[in-house]
Structure 1
Amino acid sequence: MTQHFLLSSAARSLSLAKVARMSEDEAREAFREIRWAETGGNPVCPRCGCTDHYEIKSRKKFKCAACYHQFSVTSGTIFASRKLPIRDYLLAIAIFVNGAKGYPALQLSRDLDVQYKTAFVMAHKIREALASEQVGDDLLTGDVEVDGGYFGGHIRPANKRENRIDRRLRRHQTGKRRVVVVMRERKGRTRTQVFKSEGQAVATIAKSVHPTATVYADEAAHWDVLHARFLTKRINHQEAYSTHEACTNQAESYFSRLRRAEVGTHHHISARYLAAYANEMAWREDNRRVSNGEQYLMAARAALTHPISRQWKGYWQRKAA
């Protein structure tokens, strides 16, 4: 039997020990090479784009020769206005990508010896950068599987049987339940979005999938309208999970990863942040056959090319709930 990729040596190309042993200067040089890879590590002014600069060695900064703007290796990125050593950010990215089902902020705070608030925001900044890699203007093509999975809004049953209610009825729902709808190319890209119901996703699917694509969906009635726009093949899960004509196994594989992240890693995902976790798992699914070293470079590159986050910069200072 062929060895699974994740068990092979090719999947292990990153050493956390090597990153942890980096000096601050070595970490800064690594950030520099990752951020400005196109110019061979030569700094580019984030304000005017000039490559001519002076180096202020006493402050570990650069000064643009054209507009005289002073900047560092993290200026203008999602890690701007940082307080931790640069090595800690590299280590956080390395730890984060190693979690196949995600990585909890509480454990990250213990690994880095920082407050939970710091780890929470840091992890979400990485998720935001990864999400920017998943979302694009290109339409999904080929064979595209569509499905939805419901998360949150759990109602705990009462202790005594006579006090229990029918939790399936709308009047007994909490209103916190949300559905993650996934659109996944077979052997390709994965796109996700959060809605209150699966039926609300039809318009988004019409905008995200190319008209020439073949769409695979289950027997739910709200997918009937897809037949008018796409060549649509359906699978009735009450009769079979897969046939020679249709299946949504790739979509189900994605939900398996997201569900295990919710139950086994994070234990609870708020509806407010569900989209961030859904995009993270889409990135992990799309890169599941990529070594952890390559994932580390991809995540660091995404973070260092992503602009300053409007959501997470000053998150706790705004007393966000």
Structure 2
Amino acid sequence: MRSTKIVGSGMAMQHFLLSSAARSLSLAKVARMSDEEAHNAFRLIRWADTDGKPVCPRCSCAETLTYKTRALFKCKACSHQFSVTSGTIFASRKLPIRDYLLAIAIFVNGAKGHSALQLSRDLDVQYKTAFVLAHKLREAMAAETKDATVSGTVEVDGAYFGGHIRPANNAENRVDRRLAKHQTGKRRVVVIMRERGGRTLPFVFKAEGQSVETIAQRVAPGSVVHADEAAHWDRLHSLYLTKRINHQESYSDGEACTNGAESFFSRIRRAEIGIHHHISGPYLAAYSAEMAWREDHRRVSNGEQYLMTVGAALAHPVSRVWKGYWQRGA
């Protein structure tokens, strides 16, 4: 629920991000953590079910030994040595644990995202390090809805990204870049399935019409689907009760609208224009998943977002995409 404030003689609505409830995390507090405090924080979040008592990631045994000189644990059952980040998305880490906590705090504080270049400056690390770290966090965020479905009232829409062609200098040499013959072939469409009052599921396709099969798999039977007037959505009528809105006439007619989906596209457009400046096709799904997570948790305080992201990262297994990413290209 949004908080309110008195303006003049009347009541005015205040955006949640401007309220005190949204400011439950301080970067200064995280930055002032000692290595021991950061290690304990990671341990308490990862093994919350056992009150921070280490559990072997190999055999799930809760009986472990500790070392006085190293921050390692040894399983009594299988003798496996492991750290607080072993078997997680931060496995084989090279940065101090406190830097990972700080990186997550910085990352979630960006309402429209946080660029890898800015993160590299904030943490004083190479751009490559920040790039992979940010994508690991996106992968952990996306895992929340990996096999999720939506139901009830669901809005479906698509928006194209990428494939930019620089416009010509002189007006007479310019072309209509919306036409396929004047595009690079790299454009991809993000199709969104957004449950009203619920979660947001983004998927990337070459063409909007290719998404109908995925919609059939991810939108529960019996749902009411809202879509625009595009011809490829005609197939949805055989699957769901489908309500259509003609955007050439209006964006809401009292019967149908896709304003929730448009809200998501507004967020990712702002992230593309103001934060990242360019999102290429191979990474579009990752950025879309991040923006869906931010959109779904926009009413959650940054402190809660921080704990959710740390928890998701520590619950996520080693990334097969991002571990050794730059070494594979060498």
Tell me the TM-score normalized by structure 1: 0.98
Task: Determine if the alignment matches structure 1 residue 181 to structure 2 residue 168.
Answer: no
What SS does structure 2 have at the residue aligned with 1:215?
A: strand
What's the RMSD between the two structures over aligned residues?
0.9
Query: What is the alpha-carbon distance in structure 1 between the residues aligned to residue 34 and residue 199 of structure 2?
Result: 37
Q: Which residue of 1 aligns with 2:9?
A: none
The one of 231, 239, 247 aligned to 1:237? 247
**Aligned AA for 1:134?**
T
Structure 1: how far apart are the matches of 2:156 and 2:20?
34
The count of corresponding residues between Structure 1 and Structure 2 is 319
Structure 1 contact 144–186 (Cα < 8 Å) conserved: yes
- Offset at 1:8? 1.0
- Residue from 267, 280, 300 that aligns with 2:310: 300
Contact 1:11 1:292 in 2 (8 A): yes
- Aligned pair partner of 1:6 in 10, 14, 17: 17
Q: Deviations over 1:207-252 (max 9, x none)?
A: 1001110000000000001000100001000010112101000000
Q: What is the DSSP-based 3-state SS (H/G/I as helix, E as strand, rest coil) of the residue aligned with 2:167?
A: coil
**Hey, what's the Cα distance between the residues in 2 that align with 1:45 and 1:232?**
50
d(CA) in 2 for partners of 1:3, 1:49: 47
Aligned to 1:84: 95
- Secondary structure class of the residue paired with 1:273: helix
Moved over 3 A (4+): none
Is 1:41 matched up with 2:58?
Answer: no
Residue number in structure 2 paired with 1:107: 118
Distance apart, 1:56 and its partner CA: 1.3
Task: For residue 154 of structure 1, report the CA deviation from its aligned partner.
Answer: 1.3
Equivalence map 1:16-35=2 (5 Å): 16-35=27-46
Alpha-carbon distance in 2 for matches of 1:24, 1:158: 54
**For residues 130 and 136 of structure 2, what CA distance do their matches in structure 1 show?**
10
Residue 67 of structure 2 is matched in structure 1 by: 56
Equivalent pair of 1:134/1:282 in contact (CA under 8 Å): no
Query: Which of 249, 256, 262 is the equivalent residue of 2:259?
Result: 249
- Name the residue aligned to 1:200: 210
Matched, 1:272 2:289: no
- Partner SS state of residue 192, structure 1: strand
| Secondary structure at the counterpart of residue 14 of structure 1 | coil
Q: 2 CA distance for matches of 1:67 and 1:271?
A: 44
Any residues of structure 2 matched to 1:68-217 within 5 Å, and which?
68-136=79-147, 138-217=148-227
3-state SS of paired residue (1:182)? strand
- Counterpart of 2:311, as a letter, is R
Verify the 8 A CA contact 1:214 1:230 in the aligned structure 2.
yes
Superimposed CA distance per residue, residues 32-52 of structure 1 (whole angstroms, 9 cap, x where no aligned partner): 000000111010100000000
CA offsets, 1:187-210, max 9 Å, x none? 101000000010000000011001
Counterpart CA distance in 2 for 1:188 and 1:28 is 34
Contact 1:104 1:265 (C-alpha < 8 Å) held by counterparts: yes
- List gaps (5 residues or longer) in structure 1: none
Distance in 2 between the 1:169 and 1:293 partners? 45
Conservation of the 8 A alpha-carbon contact between 1:262 and 1:269:
yes
The amino acid that maps onto 2:226 is Y
Name the TM-score, length of structure 2 as normaliser: 0.95
Three-state SS of the structure 2 residue aligned to 1:317 is helix
